[in-house]
Chains A and B, each alone.
Chain A
Amino acid sequence: MGSVLKKWKLPAIMLGPFIVLIFLFFFLPVVLIAILAFTSMDSAMRWDFNGLANFQKLVTDPNILLIVKNTVIYVGFTLLINVFFGLVLGILTTYFIQKESVGLFFRTIWMLPRISPPVVYVLLWLWFFDPSEYGVLNSLRAIFHMPPKEWLTTHPMVAVILANGLIGASFGMIIFSSAIKSIPKDLFYAANVDGASQWSIIKDIIIPAMRWPLMFVTLWQFLSLLTSYEYILLLTNGGPLFESEVLALYSYHKAFRNFEFGYGSAISLVLVLIALIFSFIMWKLFGMKKMMGSSRIE
């Protein structure tokens, strides 16, 4: 007994506060959502259990097909921009710009939107897409004598994907840059001596060395995109109609605009399930466990 206590005392002290935090702010909300999803809680805030009624309502919801379609498009394309663009930025600022200070300067610029508050960042996009002749895009059109267009009305999903994709790319950029830096320089020297082309250096040295960061960024961004809605909320608020509404935003709207807390929770619970299933598939499919081991290059 004494030895067990001795063995676990330090870990308990070290991890205790974080376990409490994780329990309070990560685990408890999921449990609460899971319970709320089976109630008809509305503005009266009463815990009236109603079985599967919320899920039946979700299936018969006339907007649900469109919203699921939007979610797939939003997550898919944003993820593509996030990962691919992040990779391009990482390679550009680390491999092609060898001087550390210059690379750092460009990376810092790309990090700026992430540091600025979402409202400010979205405000810039709103100005970019502004329907009046003063919007950035429309003033560009004006040079060619074209009439102003209502971008956010006609192409809401494009706007949402661009805004989210560009800000998200900086996350991949940071992870990929550090991964590229950790590749031993000898490999590049050897490749250059052998006369390898730039493309083959990227294809045969850099990318294979980054399988784990690539997978990590993809999974991480996938999970955060699935549940993120703040930029959509600020940019189009899901509109016009439901054209840029995604599941996470729909849950928010149902809970906090219509005050259908039970129904909103049911939608959230579906999202939690989707996230869990995908995490499990990716874990199994891509052998994450193996990849989390030490790098095979060194």
Chain B
Amino acid sequence: MKKITASVLSTFILAMGILSGCGKTDQSVGSESNEDKSKVVTIEAQTAAPEITRVENLEKAAEKLNEELKQQGKDIRVKVKTNLFEGSWEEYAKQFMLAFKAKKEPDIYATGHENIGWLADGNYILPLDELKKSKEYSDVFSTLWDSVTYKGHIWGALQDTEARPVFYNKDVLRKLGWSEEQINNLPEKVKNGEFTLDDMTKLAEEAEAKGLVQFGIIHRPVDGPDFHVMVYNFGGKLYDPEENKIVLDKKAVEKQLNYYYEIAQKKLIPGNLTQMEWSSIHKAVVNGKALFYYGGIWNVFNWSQDNFHEKLGKVDEKWINEHFGMMLIPAAEKGGKPITLSHPFVYTVSSQTEHLELVKRLLELVANPALQAEHDVKTFHLPVTKSAAEHPDFKANETLGNVTYMLEYTTFIPNHEGFPKYSKAVFDAIQAVELGKKTPKEALKDLEVQLKNDLGDQLKIVE
């Protein structure tokens, strides 16, 4: 009997031990002292893979901050603890949400600007209006402020931006009989509205018909901001800032769906494009199986990181520039304005941070032109300030220099909290028309029902 009781008790104690082990493990406490007796404050920063320079730059900025603090005679030193997240964007958002509730979130959370809506609505982050007035951010490309503005406040420190050009395969155009001059002039023709979206489709058809490429056009395989640029291109709107509502612009969305329907019906895109893996997309493009690719300037970085090319493996910038050109998304109408979409990355600040003043100063210092230029050149992004765009390191990069003009043609997706739902529903509609399961008209009808159900009074329908 005694033995049984003892074993039961020990099981119980063991179980309690395991259970308590599941609970909160103590995080390393922010403050400790080092040899020069100054207090060390740990600021945690997190970003998503693969661009680790986004947080590494904060570490470098902390060095400068520490010098400043030393000069001011303050006995505080800042240490930045970095964290690189690997996984999907949804998981990245979910992880922050749950970490925040467990009070384990990073002080600085780097994310895409479109997340500002739900982060601000959920009181996850703090407004950073002072940043706009700071010296470091005084020469930001002014349109970029729109991307971090929500409900009249600034919610993020702009980190970088990019261009989402259409890559075109120069080898294919050469085989089509284009001269080098014609090939290199294509971006200019797009810029002037001489080469339209229809011309692009026709050219893709021609290349495919002649057997030069397997696919005329490839776009991203998963939901993302790129698809919505077509609404702007067809003259539509996505957001009404006055009413703070998502807009379903039916005319523009129908044209958008028509476009994807058309390129699918003409078999210009892979039949299962929306089921493909990113790596297959990169492989198809790098190996010259497609003429046009709706990509992003950072793909140059991706292609140099992995063995996508069948023979060469990793390909460098020089190789890419020899074989690919980059142009704006052609205008929908002749003589119209071409378009692109940018997706600025921003540092947001947790509303639970205990070191707000230090974090703010850190975010000012991280906008340093040299730090920006280093990140931009390494990962193929564009700077957010004019001084960084003028930095010699940035200017030395030919690829980036060639696309910086695209910032003048850029647009953003809205910061509204409900936009991810809109985006998901539109992506489903695009998938349906591409797979031939619905006609654009049917898809639009279903989309309207879906959005009304998902967004309720957050939706405004424009006929």
Chain A residues within CB distance 8 Å of chain B: 10, 13-14, 16-17, 21, 42-46, 57, 60-63, 131, 150, 152-153, 239-242, 256-259
Closest to B5 in A: A13
Q: Give Cα distance in the complex from A152 to B271, angstroms.
A: 12
11 additional A-B residue pairs with CB within 8 Å, beyond A13-B9, A241-B435, A242-B428: A14-B8, A42-B417, A44-B121, A44-B123, A62-B446, A153-B271, A240-B274, A241-B437, A257-B424, A258-B420, A258-B454
Choose from B274, B424, B431 the contact partner of A258 (Cβ within 8 Å).
B424
The reply to whether A152 and B122 contact each other, CB–CB distance below 8 Å, is no
Q: How far is the CB of B61 from chain A (nearest CB, A)?
A: 29
List A contacts of B8 (CB < 8 A).
13-14
Binary A-proximity of B259-300 (CB < 8 A = 1, otherwise 0): 000000000000110110000000000000000000000000
The count of residues in chain B whose C-beta lies closer than 8 Å to any C-beta of chain A is 34
28 contacts between A and B (CB under 8 A): A10-B4, A13-B12, A14-B8, A21-B15, A43-B93, A43-B97, A43-B118, A43-B417, A44-B121, A44-B122, A45-B97, A46-B122, A57-B453, A60-B453, A62-B446, A62-B450, A62-B453, A63-B450, A131-B272, A153-B272, A240-B275, A240-B431, A241-B431, A242-B428, A256-B90, A256-B94, A257-B424, A259-B93
List B contacts of A256 (CB < 8 A).
90, 94
Q: Give Cα distance in the complex from A21 to B274, angstroms.
A: 43
List A contacts of B5 (CB < 8 A).
10, 13
Q: How far is the CB of A152 from chain B (nearest CB, A)?
A: 6
Choose from B12, B420, B435 the contact partner of A16 (Cβ within 8 Å).
B12
Instruction: Knowing A13-B8, A43-B118, A258-B424 are in contact, say whether A153-B275 is a contact too (CB < 8 A).
Output: yes
List A contacts of B274 (CB < 8 A).
239-240
Q: How far is the CB of B283 from chain A (nearest CB, A)?
A: 11
Q: How far is the CB of B450 from chain A (nearest CB, A)?
A: 5
Q: How far is the CB of A119 from chain B (nearest CB, A)?
A: 14
The reply to whether B118 and A259 contact each other, CB–CB distance below 8 Å, is yes
- By secondary structure, the A interface counts as loop
Tell me the residues in window 420-463 of chain B with beta carbons closer than 8 Å to chain A beta carbons: 420-421, 424, 428, 431-432, 435, 437, 446, 449-450, 453-454
Instruction: Knowing A16-B12, A239-B275, A240-B435 are in contact, say whether A258-B453 is a contact too (CB < 8 A).
Output: no
Q: Give Cα distance in the complex from A152 to B276, angstroms.
A: 11
Closest to A16 in B: B12
Q: How far is the CB of A250 from chain B (nearest CB, A)?
A: 13
Closest to A24 in B: B19
List B contacts of A17 (CB < 8 A).
11-12, 15
Q: Give Cα distance in the complex from A211 to B406, angstroms.
A: 72
Interface check B101, CB cutoff 8 A: yes
Q: How far is the CB of A298 from chain B (nearest CB, A)?
A: 30
Closest to B115 in A: A43
The reply to whether B101 and A150 contact each other, CB–CB distance below 8 Å, is no
Q: How far is the CB of B151 from chain A (nearest CB, A)?
A: 14
List B contacts of A257 (CB < 8 A).
90, 424
List A contacts of B417 (CB < 8 A).
42-43
Q: Give Cα distance in the complex from A239 to B431, angstroms.
A: 10
Q: How far is the CB of A131 from chain B (nearest CB, A)?
A: 6
Closest to A153 in B: B272
Q: Give Cα distance in the complex from A44 to B325, angstroms.
A: 43
Q: Give Cα distance in the complex from A61 to B118, angstroms.
A: 23
Q: How far is the CB of B452 from chain A (nearest CB, A)?
A: 9
List A contacts of B101 (CB < 8 A).
45
Select the residue from A10, A57, A62, A152 with max chain B CB neighbours within 10 A.
Answer: A62
Closest to A15 in B: B8
The 8 A-B residue pairs with the shortest CB-CB distance, nearest first, are A44-B122, A43-B118, A150-B272, A62-B449, A17-B15, A13-B8, A153-B272, A17-B12
Q: How far is the CB of A243 from chain B (nearest CB, A)?
A: 9
The reply to whether A43 and B9 contact each other, CB–CB distance below 8 Å, is no
Instruction: Knowing A17-B15, A44-B118, A57-B453 are in contact, say whether A259-B97 is a contact too (CB < 8 A).
Output: yes
List B contacts of A259 (CB < 8 A).
93-94, 97, 118, 420
The reply to whether A241 and B428 contact each other, CB–CB distance below 8 Å, is yes
Q: How far is the CB of A116 from chain B (nearest CB, A)?
A: 22
Instruction: Knowing A13-B9, A150-B272 are in contact, say whether A43-B435 is a contact too (CB < 8 A).
Output: no
List A contacts of B90 (CB < 8 A).
256-257
Q: Give Cα distance in the complex from A259 to B435, angstroms.
A: 27
List B contacts of A258 (CB < 8 A).
420-421, 424, 454
List B contacts of A239 (CB < 8 A).
274-275, 431
List B contacts of A60 (CB < 8 A).
453
Q: Give Cα distance in the complex from A252 to B4, angstroms.
A: 43
List A contacts of B121 (CB < 8 A).
43-44
Q: How far is the CB of A16 from chain B (nearest CB, A)?
A: 7
Select the residue from A10, A42, A153, A240 with max chain B CB neighbours within 10 A.
Answer: A240
The reply to whether B421 and A241 contact each other, CB–CB distance below 8 Å, is no
The reply to whether B275 and A152 contact each other, CB–CB distance below 8 Å, is yes
List B contacts of A21 (CB < 8 A).
15
Closest to A44 in B: B122
List A contacts of B454 (CB < 8 A).
258
List A contacts of B123 (CB < 8 A).
44
Q: Give Cα distance in the complex from A239 to B122, angstroms.
A: 30
Q: Give Cα distance in the complex from A14 to B11, angstroms.
A: 9
Q: Give Cα distance in the complex from A240 to B446, angstroms.
A: 16
List A contacts of B420 (CB < 8 A).
258-259
Closest to B1 in A: A10
Q: How far is the CB of A279 from chain B (nearest CB, A)?
A: 28
Q: How far is the CB of B12 from chain A (nearest CB, A)?
A: 5
Q: Give Cα distance in the complex from A240 to B4, angstroms.
A: 56
The reply to whether B271 and A61 contact each other, CB–CB distance below 8 Å, is no
List B contacts of A14 (CB < 8 A).
8
Closest to A240 in B: B435
